[in-house]
């Protein structure tokens, strides 16, 4: 009689352990990653972007140097930069800044600090999608750091970008 109870308790414990390991927080011994998501692609576009928060729990600077994905397309680390536009605002005669994405070779994270990959800032581009990435579909990412650590992020859900982007900001009067 005790064996079935022991067996079902073991099964329950194993199930709970598996559930806990699939949470949205991933970590290596010195790096924590949470709040990960990827944008569903825009119809007609073959690119999308992934976002997350990366925490460096070490006493040394680390850098994200490579990203692989389960969609089998190139991944690039990108940043947004503001550049002066060649067009001039007719009222002020001043050029206005515009944002541009640029590929960067690595993303440095200072000791005991956190960096946010978010829209309008650092992000991971997934380039050349073979098919549309729809809301609810999942992507796996593998992040490699210059300290030799690799972190696998499993089942990152694609979300609608409007759920994150505030497209209408109130005007100041």
pLDDT tens digits, 29-80: 789 999 999 999 999 999 999 999 999 999 999 999 999 999 999 999 999 8
The pLDDT assigned to 6 comes to 46
Across the range 157-167, mean pLDDT stands at 83
The pLDDT assigned to 25 comes to 64
pLDDT tens digits, 81-131: 876 555 544 444 444 456 789 999 999 999 999 999 999 999 999 999 999
The domain limits of the chain are 26-82+98-162
What DSSP assignment string belongs to 101-115? EEE-S-EEE-TTEEE
Q: How far apart, in whole angstroms, are the C-alpha atoms of residue 6 and residue 18?
A: 18
The pLDDT assigned to 54 comes to 98
CATH number of 26-82+98-162: 2.60.40.1890
The pLDDT assigned to 24 comes to 52
What DSSP assignment string belongs to 65-86? EEEEETT-S-EEEEEEEEEEEE
The pLDDT assigned to 88 comes to 43
Q: How far apart, in whole angstroms, are the C-alpha atoms of residue 80 and residue 165?
A: 16
pLDDT at 3 over 60: no
Contact 123, 103 (CB under 8 A): no
The pLDDT assigned to 49 comes to 98
Is 164 or 96 the better-scoring residue by pLDDT? 164
Write down the pTM of the prediction: 0.73
Most confident region among 1-5, 53-57, 162-166 by mean pLDDT:
53-57
């Amino acid at each position: 009689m005790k064996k079935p109870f022991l067996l079902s308790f073991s099964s329950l414990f194993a199930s709970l352990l598996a559930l806990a390991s699939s949470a949205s927080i991933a970590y290596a011994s010195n790096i924590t990653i949470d709040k990960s998501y990827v944008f569903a692609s825009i119809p007609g576009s073959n690119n999308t972007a992934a976002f997350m928060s990366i925490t460096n729990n070490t006493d040394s600077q680390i850098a994200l140097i490579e990203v692989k994905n389960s969609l089998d397309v190139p991944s690039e680390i990108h940043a947004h930069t503001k550049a002066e536009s060649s067009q001039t605002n007719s009222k002020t005669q001043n050029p206005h800044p515009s944002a541009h994405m640029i590929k960067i070779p690595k993303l440095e994270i200072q000791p005991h600090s956190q960096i946010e990959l978010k829209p309008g800032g650092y992000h991971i581009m997934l380039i050349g999608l073979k098919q549309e990435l729809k809301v609810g579909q999942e992507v796996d990412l593998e992040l490699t750091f210059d300290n030799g650590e690799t972190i696998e992020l499993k089942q990152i859900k694609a979300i609608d970008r409007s759920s994150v982007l505030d497209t209408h900001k109130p005007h100041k009067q």
